[in-house]
Structure 1
Amino acid sequence: MLIGIPKLLSPDLLKLLMEMGHGDEIVLADSNFPAASHAERLIRCDGHEIPALLEAILQLMPLDQYVDKPAALMQVVPGDTVATPVWEVYGRIIGERAGLEAPFDMVERFDFYDRARKAYAIIATSETERYANIILKKGCVL
C-alpha cells in the first residue's frame, strides 16, 4: 500500500495514468458501453461506479488546461427521454477538482464511439446510469 492514493485505483489503473501524456484521453465507460470491443487498452473496474472513480482519478491526474472542454459526454440520442442526473455530479466533481464550471463537450453517440476507439484506454465500470460515459483529456502537471 501507498499513502495518499485512493484505494479504488488498482495498480493497473495507476500505471496507465502514469503512462499517459498531455492530451491523451481515457474513457470512463458505463456498464452498457462496448468497452472490450472498442479498447486498445482495457482496465476493468468492476464493482465501481463512475463518480467515485472520477473523484479518485482527478486527485492524481490534471485535466488539459489548454483546451476549452477537457471532458466529453455522450449526447442523449434524439427522441430518448432518459434523464442524465449523473452529469450534474460529474460537473460538481470537476468543478471542485479542476475549477472548471463548463468542462463538457457534448458528442453525438457514434462520434463518441469513434473517439473512444482512439483513446489511450477505456475503463470499464459497473455504472448503471444511462449516458454516464465520460472522456477525460489529460493535462500537464504544473
Structure 2
Amino acid sequence: MLRHKLIHPQISSILAAAGHHSSVLIADGNYPAASKRGPRAELISLNLMPGVPTCNQVLEAVLSAVPIEAIQTMKTEDSGPYALDGDPPVWDDYRKTIQDEGLSLELEPIDKWDFYKAVTTEDHVLTIQTADQQRYANILLTVGVRMD
C-alpha cells in the first residue's frame, strides 16, 4: 500500500513515468478535456457526480506524490458572463493546500487562450477530469525534480 495520499493506480503510474517539465492538468467539470489536451496526454475521468471530487481534493493527492515546481491557473475574465471581481474562491483553497504541503509556490494566472495552449503541448502527460463546478478551478501543474 502506498504511503502518500494518492492511491489511484493509473494516475500513480502516469506520474511515476512523468519527468521534469511534464505537465498535469486538474480540470474542473466544465473543461473541454476531450479536445483541449496534449497529443500524448492521457485522460482520466474522476467525475463521479456534481462536485465530487473537487479539483482541490485531487490537487492535495497529487502534491503528496510528486514534486511540483510551478502551478498555473486560468486567469479570470474582466467582462462577460463569466467575469469575477477578484480571485475565484477556489484559489484560496489551492493556496492553503499548497501551504499545507510545505511548498512555497505561488499561483500563476495566465490568459484563458494561453492556458489552452500550455495544455496542448508535447509536455502535457495527464488530464484528471473532476466534477468541480466552481468557475476557474482548472489548475496546471509542472512536474519538478526530486531533491532528496
The alignment's TM-score, normalised by the length of structure 1, stands at 0.87
Contact 1:74 1:109 in 2 (8 A): yes
> Per-residue displacement from partner, 1:55-104 (whole Å, max 9, x unpaired)?
1111111112xxxxx1001011121136610000101111221421x511
Please point out which of 102, 112, 128 is paired with 1:123.
128
Q: Matches of residues 1-142 of structure 1 in structure 2 within 5 Å?
A: 2-6=1-5, 9-39=7-37, 40-47=41-48, 48-64=53-69, 70-79=70-79, 80-81=83-84, 84-100=88-104, 103-118=106-121, 119-142=124-147
RMSD: 1.6
Contact 2:5 2:65 in 1 (8 A): no
Gaps of 5+ in 1: 65-69
Q: Distance in 1 between matches of 2:4 and 2:101?
A: 15
User: By how many angstroms is 1:5 displaced?
Assistant: 3.9
Kept in 2, the 8 Å contact 1:62–1:98? The answer is no
Separation (CA, whole Å) in 2 of partners of 1:129 and 1:104: 17
Query: How many pairs does the alignment contain?
Result: 134
Gaps in structure 2 of 5+ consecutive residues: none
Deviations 1:91-121 (A, max 9, x none): 1111221421x51111100111111112222
Q: Which residue type is aligned with residue 109 of structure 1?
A: K
Percent identity, aligned pairs only, is: 27
Deviation at 1:38, TM superposition (A): 1.6
Q: Which moved more, 1:86-95 or 1:43-52?
A: 43-52
Shift of 1:28: 0.3
Runs (4+) of structure 1 exceeding 6 A deviation are none
